[in-house]
Amino acid sequence: MSWTRISEHLHRWDDTCNVYCIAASGRGILIDAGSGDVLDHLGEIGVEGIDWVLHTHHHRDQAWGTNRLRNSGAKVAVPEHERHLFEDAELFWQHKRVYDNYNDRSTFFSVAENIAVDAELLDYETFEWEGISLEVLPAKGHTHGSSALIGAIDGRTVAFTGDLMQAGGRLYQYHGIEYGYGDRVGALFTWQSARALRKRAPDVGLPSHGETIEDVVGDCGRLEDGLEAMARLGGGARMFGANQLTHLDVLPEARYIQLSRHLLWSGPHAVSNFYVILSDSGKVCFIDYGHAYSAYMAVAQEREDSDAMRFVVHHIDELRETYGVTEIDVVLITHIHDDHTAGIPYLQRHEGTEAWALDEVAKVLADPAAWSSTPCTLRQPIEFQQMLSDGERVSWEEYEFEVHHAPGQTEFHSVIGVEVDGQKVAFTGDNVFYDMAPGRDGKLTEQLYQTTVLRNSYQLWMHHKCADVMDTVAADLICPGHRQVFAWDDTKGLEYRDFIERNERVVRRLTGEPADVSVDVFWARMLPYLSEAVAGSPVTYTLMLRNNYAEERRFEARLLAPAGWTTDGEFAELTLGAGEKGELELTATAPATADIRRIVTAEILIDGLTHGPIAEALVTVTEGG
């Protein structure tokens, strides 16, 4: 950490974010706080104390040291639309939705403890200090409430841009543009904010991460161009957040569509397709089993916790009455999402159905509390009779299934292949779709695409793995998790791979290299995410790490626990080669008395440079038995 002199009265302190200090008459104000360590180094630039900390947005890397500065006498001002994420942070974590969560906004990076607020930074108003006026410009994008601060310092117009953009017209964190599940609403907001900033034409931009933006106007234009390229990509991404549900298919009773003699489809009315393979013995194998009607989606975004996951049994009587089924023997699960798995606990309890899945899928469904930082996890654990490895073949009755890891729409996803009635069928879950979607010219056109949900733990290699899997399975018929079934051939395979490659070019244009550093929201993940601890007892967390850099990196981590908890304060460490994964175990001891849900975070260093409290977990302390 060190100071960089930008101009006579303006300096940058390198921390978990760029902390900027404007100095006058021996005093200073800060733009963002980082770890708060700047307090120990003010004398190096002739500043005796800090009057104000002004925040561009609420993220932990910006604000985890703010209370230290506040305790030294500084006042705090925050964007008006994020005030609650500072002063009511602890309440936010107590009530944050975990299960069946379709809200992908980056509020998961909120601070752990309340920060008292002295003033709001009101949109289009000014903050005045020692003759300096900073205009508050809305800078939605990276977060919904982000603000940029613009003012004249040392003869130049300076813009403190937060994490809106980086030099070169690039995004700091690509995953930050996803607001609702699978949309790119943040891309639209970023585009609007970049246009507004470009019109102000500041001389220099000072971002929260990365080097100074010397060509603000040009880089805003480059960012706008990249975002427009994303919009033209198509592929079903709801860039403008439009609800894809245009009507509700409500019928007296949903019925199967028979695709061939031994293959049934739940039909277009189910929110998530499921399929039934009939055996000549009278037994059946389900592929997934979710809700009956797409009306589920009408309440998927705005609801009380878990009420959309209340399952009502469907289609079962028809199997017995129409198709002579005697036993629902097995359910094979393509991926982890609750809209595809909500009925499986029912099958296990009432039909004695076995559950089989790829090990990467099963580990999440068997312990959803531990993995609930990922969206759309079902609250009820599923018990597995078989956990299959990547590429494994498994027999059931007269059929042989092949199961492949296909980390596309989510990291925890598979494609299941099997021959039924003389044709090779691929059950692709939420990966592969052939549907009407916005094309490159903005018009609706029928196209093949791979879905992308950034908070589902997306890395660029994952989609290429999906294309390889589709080549390996070599299907004749695609049975997707949503929308219509469709035929597959080599031409479709080439079209699918072409979309993946075009999507990657768009992402790299917006992020720079290495792209997965910006793309991967779960390069650090704590398990268990949601847990209960017995008062006075130790709690051990597994910190899962991915090295997205092209070179070897040394990772260090320690727990930052709430008040009343104890830790040894020591850093655990490991070295990971390029692209490698690894784990660290970190332990803290719960307080002696019961406590409400709190957030525990892990501070992570890479090659000795702290990135702040990146990963988090939620824990409630109980009195025990």
- What is the C-alpha separation between 571 and 559, in angstroms, rounded? 8
Contact 306, 339 (CB under 8 A): no
What is the pLDDT, as a whole number, of residue 313?
Answer: 82
Share of the chain above pLDDT 90, in %: 76
Residue 247 domain-assigned (yes or no): no
Range with the largest mean pLDDT of 281-295, 310-324, 489-503: 489-503
CATH of residue 586's domain is 2.60.40.10
**Partner residues linked to 19 by β-bridges:** 13
Predicted pLDDT of residue 445: 78
Distances (CA, A) of 532 to 371, 374, 568: 14, 19, 21
Domain extent for 31: 3-233
The last residue of a domain, from among 511, 540, 566: 511
DSSP 301-361: SSSSTTGGG-----SHHHHHHHH---EEEEEEE-B--HHHHTTHHHIIIII--EEEEEHHH
| Domain limit, last residue, from 511, 532, 550 | 511
Indicate whether 340 pLDDT > 90.
Answer: yes
**ω into residue 528 within 30 of 0, thus cis?**
yes
159-168, 430-439, 479-488: segment of lowest average pLDDT: 430-439
Percent of the chain predicted with pLDDT > 70? 92
Residue 11 sits in a domain whose CATH number is 3.60.15.10
- Whether the upstream peptide bond of residue 514 has omega within 30° of 0, thus cis, is yes
Instruction: Indicate whether 123 and 269 sit together in one domain.
Output: no
One domain for residues 322 and 461: yes
Asked if residue 240 is part of any domain, the answer here is no
Are 360 and 428 found together in one domain? Answer: yes
Residue 529 is assigned to a structural domain of this protein: yes
* Residue 372 structure tokens: 């609930």
pLDDT, tens only, 507-543: 999 998 999 999 999 999 999 999 999 999 999 999 9
Rounded to two decimals, what is the model's pTM? Answer: 0.82
Confidence of residue 437 (pLDDT cuts 50, 70, 90): low
Strands 486-487 and 581-589: unpaired
C-alpha torsion 564→567→569→575, nearest 10: -140
Residues 7 and 135 occupy one common structural domain? yes
**In the prediction, which pLDDT does 303 show?**
41
- Whether 219 and 281 map to the same domain: the answer is no
The confidence score (pLDDT) of residue 439 equals 63
CA 370 to chain centre: 16
Please tell me whether residues 501 and 529 are part of one structural domain. Answer: no
Cβ–Cβ under 8 Å, residues 535 and 548: no
The verdict on 501 and 528 lying in the same domain is no
Q: Whose structure tokens read 């100071």?
A: 3
Residue-wise pLDDT tens digits, 101-117:
777 888 889 999 999 99
Question: What is the arithmetic mean of pLDDT over 289-317?
Answer: 60
Number of domains in the chain: 3
